[in-house]
């Protein structure tokens, strides 16, 4: 679905590849270790954003990139539906239709520079109230490095807790910024019962168990649930999210 379709006078159902109106800009991020990362910034079409999502994609060695569907749909829908800016980018060595970011996958270690570059861009552009939204591998980066930056909070989608250690979790104890983790019932890596045990070392992190959810959040029902939880954290006044465009 194109921007032209989304702007049609007849309301259309928001699902799948629906692309709602926004100001979209190809961007580049510069890391402290000298790399250029490619990405996109999506802003509300005709007003300023009320908050900003800095999105961190799933594992690139398993096919994750800035176009992984939840992140792509957040950028396609939430500027219009919830007045949010959405920043998405390829971490080092990752390729998407937007292009390839320089460097090579570094097991979540040197990617700390990638997170820092995204946050520096947010600060330079004076984008408001940034929240980190990490998915799978992106949750590992968020838990490890998000605390070092000026964010309002974090939303974690399908955290596997492979690279994020108990010490990374404990580091959030006492931090007043909200951290919310969506745990799919049928996750491939960390299901609700195990998540409750692993996250017990950081009781301030709020766990939301999602019935019927799976790691990849496939299907419009799961997409809508995830986007709703993100907006509920960041701009709850925009709920419930419309299911047609223009909204009924």
The pTM for the full model equals 0.95
Residues 6+ apart with CB under 8 A from 247: 81
Region 136-165: mean pLDDT is 98
Residue 3: what pLDDT?
45
Reported as a pLDDT band with limits 50, 70 and 90, residue 201 is: very high
Distance from C-alpha of 100 to C-alpha of 130, rounded to nearest angstrom:
25
Q: What is the CA radius of gyration of the chain?
A: 17
How many helices (H) does the chain have, and how many strands (E)?
7, 12
Angle 232-53-231 (CA atoms, 0-180°, nearest 5)?
A: 10
Distance from C-alpha of 120 to C-alpha of 204, rounded to nearest angstrom:
27
- pLDDT for residue 52 is more than 70: yes
Q: What is the pLDDT of residues 64-121, one digit of tens each?
A: 999 999 999 999 999 999 999 999 999 999 999 999 999 999 999 999 999 999 999 9
């Amino acid at each position: 679905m194109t921007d032209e379709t989304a702007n049609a006078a007849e309301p259309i159902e928001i699902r799948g590849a629906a692309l709602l109106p926004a100001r979209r800009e190809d961007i580049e991020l510069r890391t402290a270790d000298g790399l250029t990362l490619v990405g996109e910034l999506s802003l509300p079409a005709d007003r300023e954003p009320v908050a900003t999502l800095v999105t961190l994609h799933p594992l690139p060695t398993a096919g994750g990139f800035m176009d992984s569907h939840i992140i792509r749909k957040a950028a396609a829908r939430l500027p219009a539906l919830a007045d949010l800016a959405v920043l998405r980018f390829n971490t080092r060595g990752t390729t998407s239709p937007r292009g390839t970011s320089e460097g090579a996958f570094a097991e979540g270690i040197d990617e700390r520079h990638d997170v820092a570059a995204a946050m520096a861009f947010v600060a330079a552009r004076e984008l408001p109230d940034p929240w980190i939204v990490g998915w799978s591998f992106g949750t590992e980066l968020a838990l490890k490095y998000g605390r070092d930056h000026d964010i309002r909070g974090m939303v974690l989608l399908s955290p596997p807790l492979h690279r994020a250690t108990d010490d990374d979790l404990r580091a959030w104890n006492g931090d007043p910024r909200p951290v919310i983790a969506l745990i799919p019932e049928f996750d491939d890596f960390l299901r609700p019962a195990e998540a409750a045990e692993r996250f017990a070392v950081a009781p301030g992190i709020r766990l939301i168990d999602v019935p019927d959810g799976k790691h990849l959040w496939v299907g419009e029902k799961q997409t809508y649930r995830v986007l709703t939880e993100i907006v509920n954290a960041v701009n709850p006044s925009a709920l419930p999210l419309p299911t047609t465009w223009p909204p009924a």
